[in-house]
Structure 1
Amino acid sequence: MGNVVIVTDSTADIPASLAEDLSIRVVPLKVHFGNETYEDGVDLTSEQFYKKLKEAGTIPTTSQPTPNQFEEAYKKIFKETGSDIISIHLSSKLSGTFQSAYIAQQTLGEEVPLEVIDSKRASYAIGVIVVEAAQMAGKGASKEEIVNRINEMLEETSVYFMVDTLEYLQKNGRIGKASALVGSLLKIKPILSLTEEGEVYPFEKVRGNKKAVQKILSEFTRLYNGKPLHVGISHAEAEKEAEHFMSRMKEQFDVQQEVITNIGPVIGTHVGPGTISIAVTPLYRS
């Protein structure tokens, strides 16, 4: 254990084995199917979630951890480790999770050495940042060094995602600036992204999946050609498509770190089955 512990929430969709290897602490959000409540990734796996989603016939709801839950988590970590804590969370434009963590930070004051960061991202677009932060922590980097690197990654990380339908984003109120696309998706594949503030917006409308993939690859070429990359692809019941996209990325780019992961229950509630998200950040190793 280094001098810094990295905390995130379950919407980062980091594979459990990777989180364990890097000593990343994960605070779960909740998914509600009627009167049934589940902790994301704790007592409801991605596979179980999508099966329940098909059977339920209605879209579930989600809720963030309370400030008190974050406060207790931070106290426990500090008591166990005595380390500084950096806590990186789902975009504040999409959830109250960051706000809950921030309130906990304000309540704790100087009791726990803590930095809470709004990733302004979702799914493994948070994960690419969290993973590198945890790798730095494991090598003994200071809190200040890690925070500086996180701020760089917040500037340089890109994410694009493709959904089969906007129904889930619309019904859950997370559609943001993509609302103009509703009702116009016949044979159109929307490529969505997140603004600098972390709000969903339509990046491009193309006809068909192949053109969507090519458009995203072209954009990554413009942004990252020749740079060593960490590529994370998260998917909702679309593993073959995710693997194909990763193979295309490895053909065209210097992919030094790669992760394919499931979109978990909370993010899955908001984007629906068939979604693929591609997150890229350039790696700068000392």
Structure 2
Amino acid sequence: MTHTVIVTDSTSDIPEELAKSHGIHVVPLRLQFGDESFLDGVEISAKEFYERLGKAEQLPTTSQPSPADYVRVYEEIQQEYPGASILSIHISSALSGTYQSALIAKSMMNENVDLTIVDSLSASYGFGLLVVQAARLASQGIAVEDIVVAVEQMRKGRKLYFLVDTLEYLQKGGRIGKAAALFGTLLNIKPILSIDQEGVIYPVEKVRGRKKAVARMIELFQQDLGNIEKINVAVGHTANPASAEEFLEELSCHYKLEEVVLTNVGSVVGSHVGTGTIAVFIWPT
């Protein structure tokens, strides 16, 4: 049986217990608040991150793992599982240098190591769910090349939207101007965002009021999914599980929910969209 080990980075937003149960190796990005530096998800939790974000005058910065960080993880895997294949899946290269760093690490490894690096062209649990599926297939002894094909098909069938609660962080990050942010806040505008096939975040619609925005997001999913009645769903939240549960309750009025995952929107996306955001990822059963 082929033995394949799955590696990803902390922007995949896979709940810790889920990553552990599937033997997924998670390499953390680094997060910088002023003079303080933290390993994402290791030295700072999602709750602590959003508490700091709410008080910060300037947005934190993030940096990808170094090639040496990846080499260390890959070599540890080789020592623990001699001859194993490694499949390393990462956040969209359009959003972070993390994928490029993994590619450099591959060039530093022994050429006999069976190492495959994949650009997910997505972010947060939008690719975390692909990583989990890859780990499930790996546990069945599926070959790496077949896992890559399967997760690519899954990516194409998966739909996702982010509902942003405040324009403050989009303005701080330079995504919108101050005048637009002020005007939008006065009108109670809630942007809906998504990620395109090139892995770039783009605006879908602007809706007045959160309740209407939630309803509109569900309408968008219905348009995308057609007549599908059963779905798998993951809802990312900004250390506020109640908001995710409220969305799930609304969604359950329209679909039969099979696999359900609650997770946190991590620091990379979270620093740009801010508190109160929910991210919804749906894939067919």
Equivalent runs, 1:54-133 vs 2, <5 Å: 54-82=54-82, 83-108=84-109, 110-133=111-134
Q: Distance in 1 between matches of 2:229 and 2:137?
A: 19
Aligned residue for 1:216?
A: 217
Equivalent runs, 1:141-152 vs 2, <5 Å: 141-152=142-153
- Cα distance, 1:73–1:227 mapped onto 2, change above 3 Å: farther
Q: Distance in 1 between matches of 2:101 and 2:278?
A: 28
User: Which of 234, 245, 249 does residue 232 from structure 1 map onto?
Assistant: 234
Structure 1 residues 173-209: Cα deviation after superposition (integer angstroms, max 9, x where no partner): 6x4xx78x94352322110111111111111111211
Aligned residue for 1:262?
A: 264
Aligned residue for 2:195?
A: 194
| More deviation, 86-95/54-63 | 54-63
Structure 1 residues 120-151: Cα deviation after superposition (integer angstroms, max 9, x where no partner): 11111111111111111122222122111111
User: Which of 250, 253, 263 does residue 252 from structure 2 map onto?
Assistant: 250
**Does 2:43 correspond to 1:43?**
yes
Give 1:223 shift: 2.6
TM-score, scaled to structure 1: 0.90
Contact 1:45–1:264 (CA under 8 A) maintained in structure 2: no
Give 1:256 shift: 1.7
Aligned residue for 1:34?
A: 34
**Does 2:279 correspond to 1:271?**
no
Aligned length: 280
**Does 2:14 correspond to 1:14?**
yes
Q: Distance in 2 between matches of 1:261 and 1:34?
A: 26
TM-score, scaled to structure 2: 0.90
> AA paired with 1:270?
H
1:110 counterpart SS class: coil
Give 1:67 shift: 1.5
Structure 1 residues 197-234: Cα deviation after superposition (integer angstroms, max 9, x where no partner): 11111111112112211222122222323264321111
| More deviation, 153-162/163-172 | 163-172
> AA paired with 1:164?
D
Give 1:25 shift: 0.6
Q: Distance in 1 between matches of 2:153 and 2:110?
A: 26
- Cα distance, 1:172–1:94 mapped onto 2, change above 3 Å: farther
Equivalent runs, 1:164-175 vs 2, <5 Å: 164-172=165-173, 175=175
Structure 1 residues 241-278: Cα deviation after superposition (integer angstroms, max 9, x where no partner): 21111122333223221101122333322221111100
> AA paired with 1:233?
V
Give 1:2 shift: 6.5
> AA paired with 2:92?
S
Structure 1 residues 90-133: Cα deviation after superposition (integer angstroms, max 9, x where no partner): 11111100111112123326232111111111111111111111
Contact 1:228–1:256 (CA under 8 A) maintained in structure 2: yes
Structure 1: unaligned runs, 5 residues or longer: none
Q: Distance in 2 between matches of 1:100 and 1:233?
A: 28
Give RMSD over aligned pairs.
2.2
Contact 1:160–1:191 (CA under 8 A) maintained in structure 2: yes
| More deviation, 98-107/11-20 | 98-107
Contact 1:168–1:271 (CA under 8 A) maintained in structure 2: yes
Give 1:13 shift: 0.8
Structure 2: unaligned runs, 5 residues or longer: none
Give 1:4 shift: 1.0
- Cα distance, 1:2–1:271 mapped onto 2, change above 3 Å: farther
> AA paired with 1:151?
E
Q: Distance in 1 between matches of 2:112 and 2:72?
A: 12
**Does 2:29 correspond to 1:3?**
no
